[in-house]
Chain A
Amino acid sequence: MDLQTEVLIIGGGATGAGIARDLSLRGIPCLLVEKGDFTSGASGRNQGLLHSGARYAVSDPEAARECIAENLILRRIAPHCIEPTGGLFVSLPEDGHEYRATFIRACEAAGIENLPLSPREALSMEPGINPALIGAVQVPDGAVDPFTLVVENARDAESRGARFLLHTEVVGLIRAGDRIAGARLKDRITGDEYAVSAPWTINATGAWANRVLALAGPRIELALSKGSMLITNTRLSGRVINRCRPPASGDIIVPNDTVSILGTTSLRSEDLEHYDVSPEEISFLVAELSRMIPAVREERFIRAYAGVRPLVQSGETCDDRGISRGFALIDHAGCDGLAGLVTITGGKLVTYRLMAEKTADFICERMGMHVPCLTRTQPLPGAGLSHALKDRLARLRRHAPATRGEILCDCELVPREAVDAILREGKVRDLQDILHRTRLAKGTCQGGFCVYRLLGVLNELRRGEKSGGSNRVLKAFLEERWKGIRPVLWGISLKEEELIESIYKGLFNLKPEEIPLPDGGGA
């Protein structure tokens, strides 16, 4: 099975999906390949923050202006992926009034709406923050659901003819003289290999950019920075809470539905597949962030995780066209004499659309086409759906099964019907795909109970087979779960841990076996 397309996009994160949508809206055929599921790289491992740009207002005004512009665009085109929480920049006594004044001036200069608040005003809005604060500034930060955002971009692109191949890895780039003319692909589940030919290949693999480039030879200067985050069991604030001081580690708490995400750290990293969250990082985050919200110290944490930010080394990219300080678009024809290959990397989740626009502009220009970008104004397909809780509840109620169905997940109330619906669609290929598309395994027990039940549902489809299985999938899930849970095991979390070990190692007598370590993610 060999395929053909106009533009081959490698990477199913926000950038890749955004490019697929942008090109599709311009009528250019494209095909996207992704090694795992959507957002299995940095797009799925961030803090879910819709930046207002205020964080960069002082240190990098250009990036700040870019952020606020995209922030406002995303509120229009993707309101259903965003909770417009607003954000506070909180000054504690040790942060001083001087930086706060600088910060307010910088927000003004960057065009970021800002409202200085007295400590009393701030506390009346967010009673959880440290009462010792000396002031706060309100800015238009928000929370964004990256998975929905990416899936919505992909859904729109697909309806316009774009094709998506998930769990498909690029194993080779096809060279025709001094051009890249396509790629060799491998289906990671069936093992099938085939080729796709395309005049243009876009490497949108973020931190994995050099992995793909290595298949053809070139290399770009990219620094990788590991950021660790911590998920609480409850939501600690209504708004995004930032520390009003020069950007540093451990300075932000982002609400996300019923939980909050504490972040982040920043450590140089080389290993793209295994990045663990160290006990020191956790201790640091708890100590720093409990300064902003004291309840952090007593909070139960349900999971820790890390993502890898690709940081473009300035001055090292020979043809980044100066389009942004935050991201780089590299034409390998100019740099490495390899035509038909473009790398887009760096950037932030909030600027994914701009990155896609610039990439598509570039491809159009090289193709000699003059089609305007539409993503600035054209809403995503589900944009009519409001994100307000009452509307989401009303939708849930409409979709609730007529009879009282089985609830597979008691933490997040996921009905069996939700899983049956996903299975009927026929697009999911492994357990993690189902978990990504539901709230299963995202609650307090982190899948300790519901994954056993979910596997039962899947095994029901295999009734009649007498395989004598090894519980390999269940054990692989528990191993993956462990990575997120192990760093937060103290306090109440230890109760959950004892329960889960007693079930799976005790009652069910599951034993260690050689399980290959699950992927760290990425395209």
Chain B
Amino acid sequence: MKRWDLIVVGMGLAGLTAARTAAGMGAKVLIIGRGMGSVALFGNSVDVLGEVKPGTDMAESIGAWIAARPEHPYARTGWKVIAAALDEFRALFPPPYSFETAGAGNSLVPTGAGTLRPTYLLPATMAAGAAMTREETLIVGLRGFKDFQGDTVSLHLGCRGTAVSLPRYGLEGLTAQGIARLMDEESFRDGLGEAIRGQMAGERFIGLPAVLGLKDPAGALKGLEALTGARVFEIPMLPPSIPGVRIFHRFREDLIARGATFLMGNPATGVSIKDGRCEGIAVHNPPLKTEYRADQYILAAGRFLGGGLQADMERIAEPLFDLPVFQPGERGEWFGERFFQPEAHPIHSAGIVTDADLRPVDERGKVVLANVRAAGTILAHHQAVEEKAREGIAIATGYLAAKRALTQ
């Protein structure tokens, strides 16, 4: 039986980062996942910590924030690891489709609800969103495409809004994926550019739903900017996320080039444990059940949505290794009375508690399995959504878990 150096469970940003970090160190890596992971749902730009005010240096501000939260996953990594991991991430995306900060810290970019949200690294297709002004911007919706409501965006941002028909007849009801594939065709996006130009009244910025192609978004951007004479930016919208799918594809391409093995579509269903170590992971591909073995394992299966955590009516569990899970009280205490409330719902603090090495520990702090690590949002004691830290946590802990696993 073939043996790997590292098996990663989960194909979200944490799992992908862990696999790539390990592959970059020359390790033989197997990555197992049911599907593309949450990066394909929510991945747009790279959030690190939303609380850091725009114009403030992230490196200078984040240290104090982490110091006040000794249980947070960032307390395991510290800024140095975050920064190194982000550099690795950026290395994967060379210009023209690169990820950059606008200044030293966060920038505010428009969303599909017409709000502004803070984020750290922007892909080239979103950079102009951080520079737009309401007087000079036209928000363009696509008729028949329901997951981006341009009029909601323009109304709330206070910009002018319009909607254009897609250049070909009968495309109403298309999905984001469908439109993105068409945007890879030059003639299609030129048609769209012409339609937008017809609606312009001297605007310098144009906001579009984030569907500017899967293969060559930078080319699409350049083409549209040439036709309209304005700076064009993508706006994040309801999932799935096309920019997130781009991230996934880029990781996969790179991992395969480095000799990693992708096992996608079937879940890991069981593990063999011996003497406090994991010996293998079973993947169920009916009717077959195959066991894969490695020296090291990283669990990056996400939270409830990804299946990394599960809850019945009594408690929250980690279904694959049955690792200890930090419990946020009884079921009645998992969520607050209001959906929007100043403090995060207690359930979000649930997850896997680890040692400094990202190895899961029990209530007494004892390492459970010597060769298993956890990374990404499955970790306890963070509020990735409200902290605007999802990608930062995934990238930094995925990176650190792989480094520690291979240098053990």
Contacts and interface: CB of A to CB of B under 8 A. Distances in A.
B112 interface: yes
A474 B311 contact: no
A227 to B, nearest CB: 20
Most buried by B among A462, A507, A515: A507
B393 interface: no
Interface string A493-510: 011011101111111111
Interface stretch (B95-103, B334-342, B353-361, B394-402): B334-342
B234 interface: no
Contacts of B227: none
A499 B239 contact: yes
Contacts of A468: 134, 155-158
Interface stretch (B28-36, B60-68, B364-372, B384-392): B384-392
Given A452-B238, A499-B305, A467 B172 contact: no
A463 interface: yes
B338 A466 contact: no
B118 to A, nearest CB: 8
Given A403-B172, A453-B149, A508 B115 contact: yes
B15 to A, nearest CB: 17
Interface in B156-186: 156-163, 170, 172-173
Interface string B328-354: 001110110111111001010000000
Contact of A479 (B151, B154, B338): B338
A474 B159 contact: no
A407 B173 contact: yes
Contact of B146 (A286, A406, A490, A505): A406
B325 to A, nearest CB: 13
B218 interface: no
B305 A495 contact: yes
B334 to A, nearest CB: 7
A497 B114 contact: no
Contacts of B236: 507
A127 interface: no
Contacts of A404: 170, 172-173
A279 interface: yes
Contacts of A498: 303-305
A295 interface: no
B158 A455 contact: no
A284 to B, nearest CB: 11
Interface in B125-146: 134, 141, 144, 146
A502 B385 contact: yes
A196 interface: no
A501 to B, nearest CB: 6
Contact of A459 (B112, B149, B170): B149
A407 B337 CA distance: 32
From B134, B160, B339, B345, name the one whose CB has the most chain A CB atoms within 10 angstroms: B339
B339 to A, nearest CB: 4
A467 B158 contact: yes
A518 B18 CA distance: 46
A294 to B, nearest CB: 15
A466 B337 CA distance: 34
B313 interface: yes
A217 B154 CA distance: 51
A505 B312 contact: no
B332 A462 contact: no
Nearest to A462: B155
Nearest to A500: B339
A502 B304 CA distance: 12
Given A460-B151, A498-B303, A506-B42, A466 B340 contact: no
Interface in B293-312: 303-305, 310-312
Nearest to B313: A490
B332 A475 contact: no
Interface stretch (A60-68, A135-143, A481-489): A481-489
Given A407-B173, A463-B161, A503-B238, A494 B155 contact: no
Given A278-B332, A478-B340, A513-B340, A505 B152 contact: no
A286 B313 contact: yes
A408 interface: yes
A408 B159 contact: no
B111 interface: yes
Contacts of B44: 507
Given A407-B173, A456-B149, A508 B305 contact: no
B310 to A, nearest CB: 8
A190 interface: no
A192 interface: no
A443 to B, nearest CB: 15
B152 to A, nearest CB: 5
Interface string B39-55: 00110100000100000
Contacts of B305: 495, 498-499, 502
A503 B304 CA distance: 15
A456 B115 contact: no
A512 interface: yes
B151 A502 contact: no
A64 to B, nearest CB: 36
10 contacts: A404-B170, A404-B172, A456-B151, A457-B149, A467-B158, A471-B113, A498-B305, A502-B41, A509-B111, A512-B342
Interface of A: 276, 278-280, 283, 286, 403-408, 416, 449, 452-453, 455-457, 459-460, 462-463, 465-471, 474-475, 478-479, 481-482, 486, 489-491, 494-495, 497-499, 501-513, 515
Given A502-B385, A507-B112, 14 more contacts: A405-B172, A452-B113, A456-B141, A469-B155, A470-B156, A478-B340, A489-B335, A489-B347, A499-B239, A502-B390, A505-B385, A508-B113, A509-B117, A512-B341
Task: Report, nearest first, the 5 A-B pairs whose CB atoms are least far apart.
Answer: A456-B149, A509-B117, A482-B339, A512-B340, A508-B113
